[in-house]
Amino acid sequence: MAYPQTTFSHTSFSSPTFISRRREVVYSTTLLYQLNVLKSTGRYHAFKLEWHPCYRDKPDVWPVPNHLFWDSDVAKWIEGACYFLLCEENPTINGAVKELVAMIRSAQQADGYLNIHFTVVEPTKRFTNLRDLHELYNAGHLIEAALAHTQCYGNDLLMEPVLKYVDLLCATFGPGPEQKHGYPGHPEIELALLRLYGERKNPKHLALAEYFIAERGNPTGQDGRHYYDVETEARGDREHERPVYYPKSRSYWYQQAHEPIVNQQTIEGHSVRAMYLLTAVADLVRIQGPSSPKSADRTNALQRLWRNMTEKKMYLTGGIGAQKQWEGFGIDYFLPSSTDEGGCYAETCAAIGVMMLAERLLQLDLDGKYADIMELCFYNAVMTGMASNGKQFTYINQLASSDSDLSRRAEWFTCACCPPNVTRLLGYIGGYLWSFRVDENEKSQSVAVDIHMYSSATLSIPINDSVVEIEQDSNWPWEGKIEFTIRNPTDVAMTIKLRIPAWATTWQLSPPLPNAHTSKGYISLTPAYLNAHPTFHLEIPLLARFISPHPYTNQPIIALARGPIVYCVEDFDNPWVDDHFKSLVLDPSSRVAENTVTMLSSTPKVGEGETEAESYVGLTAHNAAVQMLEDENDEHEQLAPHHIPLVHASDSSSTPQTQQQQQRPGMEQLHFIPYALRDNRGGKGHMRVGIRRKL
């Protein structure tokens, strides 16, 4: 079964594109930068199991010790490093991976246990707080690191201790009378175990993953009660003591453990957890087969929760999670843009999780609606999480800044899940561009390729003694023309499906294919067409367009988008702003011009250290912007809001006094920059995606 974490190795990137530039900056800068941070913060050597002074620090988020995720920070870095090392050698990164693996091996306890905190700090409390303390989450990331390590190095130096640890977990958790009937508060190990099962085919790994998924939310799982209730009581927690992220006691929806997944009607709680969990559910359906009896309810739940999320709980950028307290979903249509409007979390990891889930759902059902969201997340909610220099990151990706939360990236975080998650994603991003299936039997071979995202890259598929290559060449997402070249030396029967995004108003295939049409967002190119035309091109016009959130959000705002890119305004280009563009009013009927902007990024070529300019398409709205005026003499300011008089539509002579507006110098041209490229050029940190719409 295919996973992008393994299929990516069939993809190579060619001429500079948005994607290849970011891969390059990660390889030349980010991995080494993060390695230094791992060292300077104590993470790098933590598997030596020595005491670190910060282990005594009070938790920023009670009851979770700040260092609790260190295992996963290291594991995710190893995983990302291995993906890049598969493509190109780097002695420093290679040396660090080997040293870390040696330390992890030495940290394993005699019974297989492998965790920093519960070996050094609280050795008597293993598996006593699955709800909050990320033990199994860390184990999951170690499994994923081991899979990448084996793929890269061809040995089991990391896999060996990980398999021994998984053996201990298989013995500890499960339905047996002596086993714990628990499951992790933060899903991750489920998808990792399923990937492990795919590689090693050990049924115990599949059984444990399925157990964790099926048992989750069982109200009577442990001694007739919810596992987390029993666990809480065993720890001796006081009755009303609760983690800071719980609005009230037993808020198990935070962990998607309030009821079994197949019964959940709406997507709730911590958004990263939800995405990792549903990704695993989708993988389980793929492994057991969509038509198996157990898969029907799980497939329905996946589709129901996906719909609820994308239709009612997703930002224009693809970000999810409006609520800071639980880093997750609010009620339907609660999608404020900024802290001073009531929230906006949109964690980078959560958008990465959406991409993971979308990719799995695409493999279950090739429907462009999943690929559209996958691409939206990548180019906006995810890529806004890293600066173009590869050394600053965001955790929260608000759609508008405020005085308390400026549009700024940080160099690192105490809870540092996001930066290495971006690193490893860019390591295997080639696996998201396309998926393929080879059908070989004695009589014939055939290959089917579904192309989900465009870039400049080559997919190489070995078939028998030959290699079939599909090359796409484009300057996506700035230009919409994609040229394809097929190299098929033995004339293997090939079918290609090309995604036509839902936002595309039209498209053109050249040479034309008679009766070509889209089916669920893809056009299908037949073997006959591909044999006759080993080179062809697809053109999808990229036109600026206004988008807006659902009317039920009660936000009269519009934003600019072009192709998969969502734009924002920043003070750097619009220096007159002094209120985070809060009073800005934008006319959607205005003329929007495109301009090619060259941004000097500090993207050094590997080994060269020179900077290279990156061009992008900026947008400018002409004579479209005004600012709402606050009139000091406005009598309405003295009144409660509900006393502001309504103006009847029939009364054309009357204009509401509250809509006084002005155009300040410089506003004649309102400049927009891709949201992903914000905060790369300095400035005051004022930014906004959705702007008040002129009525």
- Determine the interface stretch with Zn ion among 162-170, 184-192, 345-353, 582-590 (rule: CB under 5 A): 345-353
User: Is the torsion defined by CA of 361, 21, 9, 156 positive or negative?
Assistant: negative
Q: How far is the CB of 352 from Zn ion (least distance, A)?
A: 8
Closest CA to 501 of 365, 357, 374, 384: 374
Looking at 147-155, 321-329, 409-417, 509-517, which segment touches Zn ion (CB under 5 A)?
A: 409-417
How far is it, in rounded angstroms, from Cα 156 to Cα 148? 11
Pick 362 or 417: Cβ nearer Zn ion = 417
**Residue positions counted in the chain:** 695
Radius of gyration of the chain (CA): 26
Type of residue numbered 330? G
Instruction: Report if residue 418 touches Zn ion, rule: CB under 5 A.
Output: yes
The distance of closest approach from Cβ of residue 415 to Zn ion in the complex, given in angstroms and rounded to an integer, is 7
Helical (H) or strand (E) element with 681: none
| Angle (nearest 5°) at CA 73 between 70 and 75 | 105
**Smallest separation (angstroms) from Zn ion to the CB of 349:** 3
Structure-token pair, residue 306: 């996906």
Residue in 185, 320, 329 with CA at minimum distance from that of residue 252: 185
Rank residues 65 and 321 by Cβ distance to Zn ion and give the closer one.
Answer: 321
Shortest distance, CB of residue 41 to Zn ion, whole angstroms?
Answer: 16
Minimum distance, C-beta of residue 421 to Zn ion, in the bound complex (Å): 6
346 binds Zn ion per the rule CB under 5 A: no
Q: Contact region for Zn ion (CB under 5 A) — 300-308, 412-420, 512-520, 648-656?
A: 412-420
Q: How far apart are CA 197 and CA 29, in angstroms?
A: 34
In the complex with Zn ion, which residue's Cβ is closer, 273 or 686? 273
Contact predicate 404/397, CB 8 Å = no
Strand pairing category for 445-451 and 493-499: parallel
Q: Which is nearer to Zn ion, 417 or 513 (CB)?
A: 417
CA distance 357 to 371: 10
Q: Which DSSP helix (H) or strand (E) runs through 148?
A: helix 135-153
Instruction: Name the residue nearer to Zn ion (CB basis): 81 or 417.
Output: 417
Longest dimension (CA), the chain: 86
Q: Which residues contact 308 (CB under 8 A, 6 or more apart)?
A: 265, 266, 267, 332
Which residue's Cβ lies closest to Zn ion?
Answer: 349
414 DSSP β-pair partners: none
Q: How far apart are CA 85 and CA 166, in angstroms?
A: 26
Torsion of the alpha carbons at 458, 97, 30 and 86, rounded to the nearest 10: -10
Number of residues that bind Zn ion (CB under 5 A): 4
Q: Any idea which residue has 């993470």 for tokens?
A: 43
- Asked if residue 275 binds Zn ion (CB under 5 A), the reply is no
Q: Which of 592, 589, 573 is nearest to 581 (CA)?
A: 573
- Residue number with CB closer to Zn ion (11 or 348): 348
Window 567 to 606, contacts with Zn ion (CB under 5 A): none
The residue (of 61 and 171) whose beta carbon lies closer to Zn ion is 61
The token pair at 438 is 């080879």
Nearer to Zn ion among residue 269 and residue 480 (C-beta): 269
Interaction between residue 677 and Zn ion (CB under 5 A): no
* Least gap, CB of 87 to Zn ion (angstroms): 25
Q: Which is nearer to Zn ion, 73 or 347 (CB)?
A: 347
Closest listed residue to residue 566, CA positions, set 556, 557, 574, 575 = 557
Q: Does 425 bind Zn ion (CB under 5 A)?
A: no
CB-count exposure of residue 419 (10 Å: 0-12, 13-18, 19+): buried
The rounded distance, in Å, linking the Cα atoms of 175 and 392 is: 45
Contact map string, positions 226 to 265, toward Zn ion, x by CB under 5 A: ----------------------------------------
Selected range binding Zn ion among 178-186, 347-355, 573-581, 586-594, rule: CB under 5 A: 347-355
Evaluate whether 361 touches 302 at the Cβ level (below 8 Å): yes
Measure the N-to-C terminal CA separation of the chain; round to a whole number of Å.
52
* Residue range at the interface with Zn ion (CB under 5 A); choices 43-51, 198-206, 317-325, 343-351: 343-351
198 vs 420, beta carbon nearer Zn ion: 420
Region binding Zn ion by CB under 5 A among candidate stretches 219-227, 339-347, 557-565, 665-673: 339-347
**Cis peptide bond prior to 477, omega within 30° of 0:** yes
Tell me which residue of 416, 423, 617, 412 sits closest to 25, measured CA to CA: 423
* Window 83-122: residues binding Zn ion (CB under 5 A): none
Q: Binding residue for Zn ion (CB under 5 A) from 26, 349, 433, 504? A: 349
Q: Which is nearer to Zn ion, 349 or 486 (CB)?
A: 349
Residue 397 and residue 384 in contact, taking contact as beta carbons nearer than 8 Å = yes
Query: What residues contact residue 626 under an 8 Å CB cut-off, 6+ apart?
Result: 584, 585, 587, 661, 662, 663, 667, 694
- Which residue of 416, 417, 500, 677 would you call a contact of Zn ion, by CB under 5 A? 417
Of 90-98, 114-122, 340-348, 442-450: span binding Zn ion (CB under 5 A): 340-348
Q: Which stretch binds Zn ion (CB under 5 A): 103-111, 225-233, 256-264, 417-425?
A: 417-425
Q: Closest CB to Zn ion among 107 and 417? A: 417
Q: How far is the CB of 61 from Zn ion (least distance, A)?
A: 13
Residue closer to Zn ion, measured from CB, 349 or 447:
349
User: Which window, 1-9, 44-52, 341-349, 513-521, contacts Zn ion (CB under 5 A)?
Assistant: 341-349
**Region 494-523 residues binding Zn ion, contact defined as CB under 5 A:** none
Q: Smaller CB distance to Zn ion: residue 69 or 567?
A: 69
Nearest-approach distance from CB 580 to Zn ion, in angstroms: 24
Taking CB under 5 A as the binding criterion, the range among 88-96, 330-338, 344-352, 452-460 that sits at the site for Zn ion is 344-352
Task: Tell me the window of 102-110, 233-241, 414-422, 676-684 that interacts with Zn ion (CB under 5 A).
Answer: 414-422
C-beta of residue 461 within 8 angstroms of C-beta of residue 445:
no
Shortest distance (Å) from residue 275 CB to Zn ion? 11
Nearest approach, Cβ of 321 to Zn ion (angstroms)?
Answer: 10
Beta bridge partners of 671: 620
Q: By the criterion CB under 5 A, which residues form the site for Zn ion?
A: 347, 349, 417-418
